[in-house]
Amino acid sequence: MANNYKLTKHGTDFFEDPTFYISIVGALQYANVIRPDITYCVNNVCQFLDKPCNSHWTAVKRILRYLQGTQTMGLTIKPVGHSSNLSITAFCDADWASDIDDRNSTSGACLYLGPNVVTCWSKKQRTIPRSSIEAEYRSLALASQEIMWLESLLKELQITYHTPAIFCDNLSTVVMSHNPVLHNRTKHIELDLYFVRDKIQSKTLIVKHIPSEFQTSNIFIKPLPNTQFITLRNQFRIQDYNSAD
């Protein structure tokens, strides 16, 4: 999507063939399996299936043109040796009050097992956060929950791994996750606070700060400039099949 481009459900220029719109957007969801770089865009256009407008169809056509120009690209998987423990790394972020219709925030995250992406998502938060820290912390809790599921799977398969690490670009969120003291301003997210903090204190999870320009999950929460988008796309190992190593 174009940088700083926002879609809205309010409009009168309704698309003339809603069924066609639904079928195309539905097909794009399957492309997410090997093309996580379009996750945010597809999630965005899926929110207008009931009454699509021409502006929504324009966004869909932009996605189709992008896929047409990158037909030979896809998610590549790099084999990992058995000599050492696997690393579990997650990147999480949130775009506070990004939806111009209901002011819900968008959470985005991706989880790496070794050098490979094993899961990623872009979704609207169910509740309206009152601060950017709350939005970021809910995203952090969701990423922690996903790591717990992956850990249980690896334990069942008897695969050893290093202590998981989550990278967040909001310094206040990182500090709050390590702070053993709860404040009145954080009572509305107390469950998420305890959930993440208990794992940190038991040393089964590491939460670290990362500068925003290196935050991989930015690609799941908002439109980005071309240069930044391509840089983050490469971090997912989305490569040309003809030249992938």
CATH of the domain at 166: 3.30.420.10
What mean pLDDT do residues 170-189 have?
Answer: 70
Residues 57 and 95 in one domain: no
Answer yes or no: is pLDDT of 188 > 60: no
Residues 63 and 115 in one domain: no
Residues 35 and 142 in one domain: no
Place 10 in a pLDDT band, splitting at 50, 70 and 90.
Answer: confident
Residues 138 and 173 in one domain: yes
Q: Which two tokens stand for residue 25?
A: 């957007």
For residues 153 and 141, the answer to whether their CB atoms sit within 8 Å is no
Residues 106 and 194 in one domain: yes
Count the domains in the chain.
2
Query: Where in the sequence is the domain holding 149, given as residue range(s)?
Result: 88-218
Count of Cβ atoms closer than 10 Å to residue 150 Cβ: 18
Residues 153 and 193 in one domain: yes
Answer yes or no: is pLDDT of 106 > 60: yes
Residues 106 and 204 in one domain: yes
Burial of 66 (0-12, 13-18, 19+ CB in 10 A): middle
Residues 196 and 118 in one domain: yes
Angle, vertex CA 221, rays to CA 148 and CA 97, nearest 5: 105
Residues 104 and 213 in one domain: yes
Whether residue 55 lies inside any domain: the answer is yes
Residues 115 and 194 in one domain: yes
Whether residue 43 lies inside any domain: the answer is yes
Place 123 in a pLDDT band, splitting at 50, 70 and 90.
Answer: confident
Whether residue 158 lies inside any domain: the answer is yes
Q: What's the pLDDT at 186?
A: 57
Distance (Å, whole) CA 146 – CA 27: 26
Answer yes or no: is pLDDT of 133 > 90: no
Whether residue 7 lies inside any domain: the answer is yes
Distance (Å, whole) CA 123 – CA 70: 25
| Helix-then-strand count for the chain, H and E | 7, 7
Q: Which of 67, 14, 61 is nearest to 36 (CA)?
A: 67
Place 196 in a pLDDT band, splitting at 50, 70 and 90.
Answer: confident
For residues 154, 155, 158, 162, the Cα torsion angle rounded to the nearest 10 degrees is: 70
Neighbouring residues of 21: CB distance < 8 A, sequence distance ≥ 6: 15, 49, 52, 56, 57, 60
What mean pLDDT do residues 83-111 have?
Answer: 86
Residues 56 and 129 in one domain: no
Whether residue 193 lies inside any domain: the answer is yes
Coil vs helix vs strand at 205: coil
Sign of CA dihedral 196, 197, 199, 203: positive
Whether residue 233 lies inside any domain: the answer is no
Whether residue 16 lies inside any domain: the answer is yes
Distance (Å, whole) CA 114 – CA 34: 18
For strand 165-168 and strand 116-124, is the pairing parallel, antiparallel, or unpaired? unpaired
Q: What's the pLDDT at 38?
A: 92
Residues 103 and 209 in one domain: yes
Beta bridge partners of 92: 109, 168
